[in-house]
A and B are shown apart, each in its own frame.
Chain A
Amino acid sequence: MPKPFDKLTATAAPIMRGNIDTDVIIRIERLVGNGIRGTLGKWAFGSLRYLPDGSENPEFILNREPYREAEILVTGPNFGCGSSREGAVWSLQERGIRAIIGSGFGDIFFANCFQNGILPVLVDKAVVDQLAADIEATQGAGKVSIDLEAQTIVSPSGARHAFEIDPRRREGLLKGLDEVALTLQRDNEIHAFQASDRTARPWIHSTRISA
């Protein structure tokens, strides 16, 4: 069940390269196995964060102060494209990230964020560029505020930006709703659908091979 999200004021790290895919966010071999939850934070952005010898890459933003403490990412276009691996979100979450502000997200990654109580904020590229510039102007010291209830972002310079979000998603995050439990409350509707669909499309429902 996701943790509720309402407001956050935190250090934000701009990672502006486009097309950062979920393979780059977390390598697949870190996700092989059923006991991986809780082990992923240190592998988030592994290929960017560590040098081939395993030491930290001092150039990478999350290895620098004060961005080490970042709870918000400000991202370039098409962040989280590629694989459906929810481990990408888990690794960011375990690394301490609670919100991502970007100009474009991979569709599946975007949905996975909400499932884990992470807020992805979709805004125009101009807003992302301004946030990144404001953050860099304070060398990361200036914090970014996000208010989900009011649907606003405040940049370190004080500039305020409104953002749009699907009302269902918003409510789910604000209350930390469990979608499985909610859908199960409609189980009679699911059964009713299946009963009538069995007449309309019997081939969908009889899947046992007779031969």
Chain B
Amino acid sequence: MPGRSLLQKIWDQHVIARLSEDTDLLHIDRHLLHDLGGSRGLLDLKSRGLKVHNPELTFATPDHALSTAPGRAGTSKIGMELLAALRVETAASGITLFDVDQPGQGIVHVIGPELGLSLPGATIVCGDSHTCTHGGLGALAFGIGSSELTHVLATQALIQKRPKTMRARFEGKLPLGVTAKDMILALIGHVGAAGGTGYAVEYAGSAISALPIEGRLTICNLSIELGAKMGMVAPDEKTFEFLRGRPYAPQGEMWDLAVKAWRELPSDPDAVFDREVVIDVEKIIPQVTWGISPEHVVGVDGIIPDPKAVDDPARRAAIETALEYMGLQGGAPIAGTPVDWVFIGSCTNSRLSDLRAAAEVARGRKVAAGVRAWVVPGSENVKREAVAEGLDKIFIDAGFEWREPGCSMCLAANGEVVAPGQRSVSTSNRNFVGRQGPRARTHLASPASAAASAIAGAIADVRMMGR
């Protein structure tokens, strides 16, 4: 029998019942709720006359619908109603809520790891597709829809079909100015936005081992943008160091027991994957998207694709549609494209290391005239740590706006939008049509690239900034 992969090991540990050859009833170890879907699920459950099966394994925080303006000014009436409903319904069910202004509040995929709620070997779900983020700690984490959310509330279990397995190995030493975000965008460019559909992806290789945990979370965050609803990295000493002492991480004897179990999780050397991809990271340069799918990505020194040079009619039409929406000319260099907005935040890139990287570029410089640039920390704790380090001051001095934690301009569900036709460089994860507001144009990039673009007033190569 061949060895087992990280995915198989975690999966097998969670099977409550085998329902068919390839479908199991899985135990869910952590269920995270947010303001958009959390109270709706709890109300749905109530209307069926059911109770939350394990409130102690369920945690909630508001993030999507809140304004991130100082004092949360401008949160819509409906956003306030959702917050009120989340408070009432979590309290009624005995679910811990990390509320506004409290340590612990933040984007659900930032707070899970930060609080030690997300653990290696755990199954973690949330009604949000970027739940794959938590896989960066060696968890089996994935997004679910509203019906599945109700199912988990009612049963603490979920019916799941075993996915195929893919291993993406990143090998080599990361060049200067190139980040985890660039690594994963390069992979998406390579395999396409549907390349991972039906797979759970394990990220491995020397460049993944070398990455700090926050970088691994960024990598796993974008799994869904290559079509994979699950992405994961085997836990190692860095993972354990990251988690040690966090509020909800096991302590004392329990910690030792947990670490012993976690050491057994990495894929066996002879584990077989349905698909293997190898990426040479030494060839990666900072990435930026030019179109309306994350697969529409080039190196920042690259050229926007020219539809006239493409033979396949479907591909040509897709490029034309994207360029028309984005207001770009095929065949032109992407660098130097003027921008109106820069957004540094989201569950992809709003952790302390992301803010440090952006601040490093911004320090002592000024945001270009005519550009609005926001920095939105991922959580209350990230915000407090950043302030303690003086990062807020660096940003404010450079002309960035420093905001309260939340999803903000990543999805435009909270009144925070890029105006129609305006162009934004964003550290988030989706450049979809209208994602940052109706007819808004989004270019995805790393925090360092976004900060460089804010300073330049145009899409910029951070490697040319001389730091």
Hey, which bits of chain A sit against chain B, CB under 8 A?
17-19, 21, 23-24, 27-29, 31-34, 47, 52, 76-78, 81-87, 89, 104-108, 111-112, 115-116, 166-168, 179-180, 183-184, 186-187, 189-190, 193-194, 197, 201-211
- A202 in complex: contacting residue of B53, B144, B147, B254, CB < 8 Å: B254
The answer for the CA separation of A183 and B155 in the assembled complex, in Å, is: 7
Tell me if B197 and A206 are in contact (CB < 8 A): no
Q: Are A82 and B430 in contact (CB under 8 A)?
A: yes
Q: Which of A24, A81, A167, A206 has the most CB of B within 10 A?
A: A81
Considering the chains assembled together, what is the distance between the CA atoms of A205 and B122 in angstroms? 11
Chain B residues 65 to 90 lying within 8 A of chain A, measured CB to CB, are: 65, 76, 78-79, 81-82, 85
Among B13, B146, B229, B420, residue most surrounded by chain A Cβ atoms (within 10 Å): B146
Contact of A78 (CB < 8 Å), options: B23, B54, B197: B197
**CA gap between A193 and B16 in the complex, in Å:** 6
Q: Judging by beta carbons under 8 Å apart, are A108 and B229 in contact?
A: yes
User: Contacts A17-B317, A34-B82 given; 10 further ones with Cβ under 8 A?
Assistant: A27-B434, A28-B413, A47-B434, A78-B194, A82-B225, A82-B432, A108-B224, A111-B148, A184-B50, A189-B16
Check A115–B147 contact: CB distance below 8 A: yes
Task: Give chain A nearest CB distance to B164 CB in angstroms.
Answer: 11
Chain A residues within 8 Å of B112, by CB: none
Q: Is B172 an interface residue (CB 8 A)?
A: no
Q: Which listed segment binds A: B36-44, B300-308, B395-403?
A: B36-44
Tell me if B250 and A84 are in contact (CB < 8 A): no
Taken together as a complex, chains A and B put the C-alpha atoms of A142 and B314 apart, in Å, by 25
Closest to B192 in A: A78
Q: How far is the CA of A193 from the CA of B255 in the complex (A)?
A: 22
B25: interface (CB < 8 Å): yes
Binary A-proximity of B41-69 (CB < 8 A = 1, otherwise 0): 00100001010011011000000010000
CA separation between A78 and B78, bound complex, in Å? 32
Min C-beta distance of B96 to chain A, whole Å: 8
Q: What are the 3 closest A-B residue pairs judged by CB atoms, nearest first?
A: A115-B147, A203-B250, A86-B145
- Are the CB atoms of A203 and B254 closer together than 8 Å? yes
In contact, A204 and B432 (Cβ under 8 angstroms): no
Nearest CB to that of A50 among chain B residues?
B438
Of A108, A184, A205, the residue contacting B145 (CB under 8 A) is A108
Given contacts A23-B433, A34-B43, A190-B16, contact A108 B119 (CB under 8 A): no
Give Cα A206–Cα B258 distance, bound, in whole angstroms.
12
* Distance A162 CA – B450 CA, assembled complex (angstroms): 49
Per-residue interface assignment for chain B, residues 12 to 47, with 1 indicating a CB less than 8 Å from any chain A CB and 0 otherwise:
010011011011010101000000100110010000
Chain A: minimal CB distance from B266 (Å): 17
A-B contact pairs, 26 of them (CB 8 A): A19-B193, A23-B433, A31-B413, A32-B36, A32-B76, A33-B82, A34-B40, A78-B193, A78-B227, A83-B129, A84-B128, A107-B198, A107-B229, A108-B229, A112-B146, A166-B22, A183-B154, A184-B50, A186-B17, A189-B16, A189-B17, A190-B155, A203-B257, A204-B57, A205-B57, A211-B247
Tell me how far the C-beta of B303 lies from the nearest C-beta in chain A, rounded to whole angstroms: 21
Within 8 A of A (CB), among B185-237: 193-194, 197-198, 224-225, 227-229
B284 at the interface (CB under 8 A from A): no
Closest A residue to B154 using CB positions: A180
Determine if B197 and A32 form an interchain contact, defined as CB atoms under 8 angstroms apart. no
Contacts of B411 in A (CB 8 A): 28
The complex places the Cα of A111 from the Cα of B163 at a distance, in Å, of: 13
B contact residues around A31 at 8 Å (CB)? 36, 413
Within the assembled complex, what's the spacing in Å between the Cα atoms of A194 and B229? 26
Interface residues of B in 123-166 (CB under 8 A from A): 127-129, 143-148, 150-151, 154-157, 159, 161, 163
Interface flag for B242 (CB, 8 Å)? no
Nearest opposing residue in chain B for A77, CB measure:
B194
Interface of B is mostly: loop
B321 at the A/B interface (Cβ < 8 Å)?
A: yes
CB atoms of B146 and A209 under 8 A apart:
no
B310 within 8 A of partner (CB)? no
The distance in angstroms between the C-alpha atoms of A48 and B248, with both chains bound, is 45
A139 to B151, CA, bound (A): 42
Q: A104 near B143 (CB under 8 angstroms)?
A: no
| Contacting residues of chain B (276-328) with chain A, CB-CB under 8 angstroms | 292-293, 295, 314, 317-318, 321
For residue B251, CB closer than 8 A to chain A, the reply is: yes
Q: How far is the CB of B429 from chain A (nearest CB, A)?
A: 9
Decide if B154 touches A184 in the complex (CB within 8 Å): yes
Please determine whether B155 and A82 come into contact, CB atoms closer than 8 angstroms.
no
Chain B contacts of A28 at CB under 8 A? 411-413
Chain B residue at minimal CB-CB distance from A78 = B194
Tell yes or no: B351 within 8 A of A by CB. Answer: no
Query: Taking A34-B85, A186-B16 as contacts, is the C-beta distance between A24 and B25 under 8 angstroms?
Result: no
Chain A's nearest CB lies how many Å from the CB of B130? 9
Q: Judge whether A84 and B420 touch: CB under 8 Å.
A: no
Contacts of B430 in A (CB 8 A): 21, 23, 82-83
Contact flag A201-B27 (CB < 8 Å), given A32-B82, A184-B155: no
B residues less than 8 Å from A21 (CB atoms): 293, 430, 432-433
- In the complex, whether B435 has a CB less than 8 A from a CB of chain A is yes
Known A23-B432, A31-B36, A108-B144; contact A18-B224, beta-carbon cutoff 8 A: no
Most buried by A among B20, B57, B151, B412: B151
Q: With A18-B314, A82-B432, A108-B129 in contact, do A201 and B159 touch (Cβ < 8 Å)?
A: no
